[in-house]
Copies of this chain bind each other. A is one copy, B any other.
Amino acid sequence: MISQLIEKIQKTKAPVCVGLDPMLSYIPECIVKKALGEWGETLEGAAEAVWQFNKEIIDHTWDLIPAVKPQIAMYEQFGIEGLKVYKRTVDYCREKGLVVIGDVKRGDIGSTSAAYAAGHLGHVQVGERTLSGFGTDFITVNPYLGTDGVKPFVDACQKEDKGLFVLVKTSNPSSGEFQDKLIDGRPLYELVAEKVVEWGELSMDGDYSNVGAVVGATYPEMSRVLRRLMPKTYFLVPGYGAQGGTAKDLKPCFNEDGLGAIVNSSRGIIAAYKQEKYASFGAEHFGEAARQAVEDMVADINQVL
């Protein structure tokens, strides 16, 4: 799977991924009003607004980018109706030829992780048939439970040609609280990185592994060390733009070959029309604003590569 992602990155010349994390507050009022007018002030109505918003964003950006990353929490907050739109978004993006990274941050004991892996990456057996639940290409995984909690996801990668990004060093302000703690003189995130390399060896796909790592853009010094520790691990890099990471901060996430990382932006793209820079598009043209924001982001990142 990682080779498919790399191919799409090379084709689009865009090591970026659009985060489809639609808070209701990002969605232009005209869309929310129409959806709630039709469905009432209900979870269905909210979910419909999310779907209309996503569709417009995807329709205006799909040809510029290799991948999208829907954050499942933003759908899960609307219960079943929200999750239906998560699935609909995944399916629509895959039809458009986009690689879909489900940002689900799952992780549990072995048998439970196996169920998550089946639902998000693989298949379940029902009678004689094998059926797919959410059918994303990659998901994000939390490593706190250790190898037996991660292994079922790695097995699914190998069996179904799928991929993972395991949380190593996250982009949020408190990420250091546990992740930076020193163990025999080295931060916890380096130990996690070494495990990611070990797990990654079980599912290689060309020069890189199907088992990638989440490495926040907000800590460039750490990215440099992690890049060296994990030469064959692809990085999913959150934190660019709205969270404060700049293109210069991203440089250490990449290898010499210009590969090795895919940078996510959510708010900075999907709510671009709310920024002064893109305000001239107007709320009703939020899709065009998102497209311009993608083009600007790609140019910004490519100048440092």
A268 at interface, CB cutoff 8 A: no
A82 at interface, CB cutoff 8 A: yes
* Complex-state Cα separation, A132 to B45, whole angstroms: 14
Whose C-beta in chain B lies nearest to the C-beta of A32?
Answer: B127
Residue among B115, B124, B175, B195 making CB contact with A146, cutoff 8 Å: B175
Q: Mark A169-208, 1 if CB is under 8 A from B, else 0.
A: 0111111111101111000100110010000000000000
**Is A116 touching B41 in the complex (CB atoms < 8 A)?**
no
A148 at interface, CB cutoff 8 A: yes
**Is A191 touching B195 in the complex (CB atoms < 8 A)?**
no
A128 at interface, CB cutoff 8 A: yes
A279 at interface, CB cutoff 8 A: no
Residues of B within 8 A of A110 (CB): 172
A165 at interface, CB cutoff 8 A: no
15 A-B residue pairings within 8 Å (CB atoms): A23-B115, A24-B124, A24-B125, A41-B126, A43-B131, A45-B126, A45-B127, A76-B133, A77-B119, A79-B132, A79-B134, A82-B119, A82-B133, A109-B170, A145-B167
**Given known contacts A43-B126, A146-B179, what 15 new A-B pairs fall within 8 Å (CB)?**
A23-B115, A36-B126, A41-B127, A73-B116, A79-B87, A79-B119, A80-B83, A109-B171, A143-B178, A144-B178, A146-B175, A178-B188, A178-B192, A181-B183, A181-B188
